[in-house]
Structure 1
Amino acid sequence: MYNRYRLTSTVYDREDEAQKIIPEKRVFLSVEGNVTEKEYFDGLSKNRVKIGINAKVDVEVLRRGKKDTNSAPQQVIELLEEYVRLREQNEDDILQEVSEQFKEQFSMDFIKQFLETPDKLPKKQRNLFATELKKIGYDINYRKYLKKYNNERDEFAVLIDRNMQTHSESNMSECIKYCRDNGYKCYIANPCFEFWLLMHLADIEAEFGDQLDKIKENKKVSEQHTFVSREVSNRAHHGKSGINFARRYLPYMDKAVIQAKKFPDDEYELVDSIGCNLWRLIEELKNYGK
C-alpha cells in the first residue's frame, strides 16, 4: 500500500501536561533533519523559562518516522501541510480516507468506536488496528496528540538548509515564495543547521573570518562530516546520548543570536549568503506577551 501519511512518532509527550502551564500559542515547525534539529528544539522547549521565553508560548517540531528521509525543501513543506490539513478536519479523516483499505478486516462500527470510545474495545484489537494503520504511515496516536492543539494564535513554519550541493537556487526561491503566499514562516540556514549550532560554540568572526567561503561551500571532509559539521563535532562532541542541549547550547543562545544578526536575515538573501535567521524565531518567542 502507498504510504501517504508521514506524521509519526514513538515519543512525543515531552512533559507531563499536568505539571506545566499549557501554552496558549505554539509554533509548529517542520524541519529537514530527523534527529539533531528535533533534539535542539526539544531542549529549547523544555528550557524556555531559563532562556527567558514565556511559558505560554512553545515550539513543536513535527515528527516523522526514523526511516523517513524525505528532506528536500518541498517535502519539508509537505509535512507541515499534512499537519495543517489535520487541524482543518472536523473529525479524524480515518473514516473517509483509510477505512476502505480495512473494510475486510475491520467494520465501520469498530472504527467509529475506536475513534470515540477506544477503551471499550479489547486491548488486543486496539493494538492490532493501530499497527495496521502504521503500516501505511498513519500514526493515529500521534495524530490525536497533535489534533488537540488548535489555537488561532498558532503559527506554522519550516526550517530549510540551503545546501547548495543538493538544493538549487530556483528550488529555494520557489519554496520561500510558497511559504510567504501561504502565511508560513520560513527559516533558512545557509549552508546548514549546523552553522546555527556553530554560532553557539565559536566566535565566527575571530575563528572563521577568513574561511567564510569554506563555510558556504561546506564540502565533505570525511565520510561522516562536512566542513561545518566537523567544526561542530570538534567542539560539541555529539554522541549516542544526543547533543546535550543544556550544557552545549543553552548557556550560549544569546551568543548565537548576536552572531546570527551579523549576517543577512531575509530569506531570499540567505539563498546566496551564509547565515541563519532562526534568531528571529528565538526573539519572537522571547517577546511573546510583552
Structure 2
Amino acid sequence: MREKKNFAERTRISKEDRTRKKNFLVFEGNRTEGIYFNTINELKDKIGINPLIEIISIEKTYTEEGWSNPKKILEQLLKDLEEIENGKFSYKTLVDKIIEIIMEDKKFFSNISKEISLKEIIEDIKNEIESLDNIVENVEEDCEFLLNMIIKKLFLTIEEIPNILETVLKNIENKQITYSEDIDKMCLIVDRDKKSFKEEQYNYVKEECERKNFKLYVTNPCFEFWLLLHFDEVHLINKEELLENKRASSKVRFVESELKKYFPYNKNKYNAELLIEKIHLAIENEKKFCEDIEELKDKLGSNIGLLIQELKEK
C-alpha cells in the first residue's frame, strides 16, 4: 500500500512551523471512496475542516490490484508499517517499486505491449520466488534479478531505461506511507458486505484496529448508502431492502439503484462536489440510523459522518 501521489510530503506551515496532522484513509475500493474523500480534501475550507489537517488516501500497489477484503487489506497495511519501522522490506515492496518507476515514465508506459499484463508479470515473479512476503536479503542482487525479469516481460531492454537500477535502489528506502503513530490518525473505511466480509473477519478487523489505535469506519451494507444519506428521500425507502441490498438488475444492487434516482452516479466517475454541498444533511441523516461500530455488523447505517465531524472539530 502507498500514499496517493501529490500528498506524500509532510509540509510545515505558518510562523510556528507547525507540522500538519495527517489523517490516512485506507479504502476497501480505490475509486468510489477515493473520489469522495479527495473532493473533501479539496473543499476543506468550505466544509469547515481545519487547513492544518491533511487528508491522505492510501491506495493499493500493483501487486494488490483487485483486493477488496477488509481483513486482507488491514493485514497488508500492518505488514507495510512493520517494514517501515524495522527498516527492512519484502520482495513484494521491491516488485511494486520497480513497476512503479517503470510505469510512471510516460516515455515507456505508452510503448508497453498490450499483450502482456502486469498481473501476468506478477504471477511469473511469484513462480520464481518462494514468497513475495519474504524479506529481501541482498537488495542490489535481488533488485537486478527482478528488474531484468520485468523489463524482458515488457519487451524493453536495460539500455532503454538507463540508470533504472540506481533509481530503484535510491528510492526503495523512501517510505511508501509517512505515517507517524504519535501524530497521525489511521482510518480504515470499509463496507459491511456480509458475503465477502464474514462475521469473524469483522470482529478481527475491529479488534486489530482497537489494538493499533486505528479508527474503523463502516457502512452497512455499502458506501453507496452513505452517499444516499445526502438526500432526505433515504427515509422513504424500505429499510429492510436497503440492508439486504439485493440485485436490482444484472449490473447494480438495490442501494445503488436508489441512489441513481436522486444523483447521476457511476462508481468510477461522479461529481462528488454536488454531494459535499449536502454533507451536513448526510451527517444529520446518519444519526437516524445505526452509528455504533459493534452494532453496524448487523444493522443498517454508517459512522462516516462521525469521521467528518472529527475532522471538523480538530
- Pair 1:75 & 2:113 matched: no
- Pair 1:228 & 2:282 matched: no
The residue aligned with 2:177 is 146
Identity of aligned residues (%): 27
* Aligned mates of 1:140, 1:235 — CA distance in 2: 46
* 1:129-208 pair list within 5 angstroms: 140=172, 144=175, 146-147=177-178, 150=180, 152-205=182-235, 207-208=236-237
1:196 Cα deviation after fit: 0.4
- Pair 1:278 & 2:301 matched: no
* Aligned mates of 1:261, 1:212 — CA distance in 2: 15
1:57 Cα deviation after fit: 0.9
- Pair 1:103 & 2:141 matched: yes
1:80 Cα deviation after fit: 2.8
Alpha-carbon RMSD: 3.4
Contact 1:39 1:245 survives alignment (8 Å): yes
The residue aligned with 2:38 is 42
Name the amino acid aligned to 2:177: L
Contact 2:88 2:135 survives alignment (8 Å): no
Unaligned runs of 5+ in 2: 95-133, 146-158
Q: 1:167 and 1:151, CA in 2 relative to 1: closer, same or farther beyond 3 A?
A: closer
Contact 2:286 2:303 survives alignment (8 Å): yes
Aligned residue pair count: 254
SS at match of 1:166: coil
Unaligned runs of 5+ in 1: 1-6, 108-121, 134-138
Q: 1:174 and 1:92, CA in 2 relative to 1: closer, same or farther beyond 3 A?
A: closer
Contact 1:72 1:167 survives alignment (8 Å): yes
Contact 1:48 1:54 survives alignment (8 Å): yes
Contact 1:25 1:56 survives alignment (8 Å): yes
The residue aligned with 1:111 is none
Contact 1:25 1:151 survives alignment (8 Å): no
1:266 Cα deviation after fit: 1.5
The residue aligned with 1:115 is none
* Aligned mates of 2:294, 2:144 — CA distance in 1: 50
What is the TM-score with the length of structure 1 in the denominator? 0.74
What is the TM-score with the length of structure 2 in the denominator? 0.69
**CA deviation vs aligned residue, 1:268-288 (integer Å, no higher than 9, x gap):** 100111100011111110000
- Pair 1:53 & 2:49 matched: yes
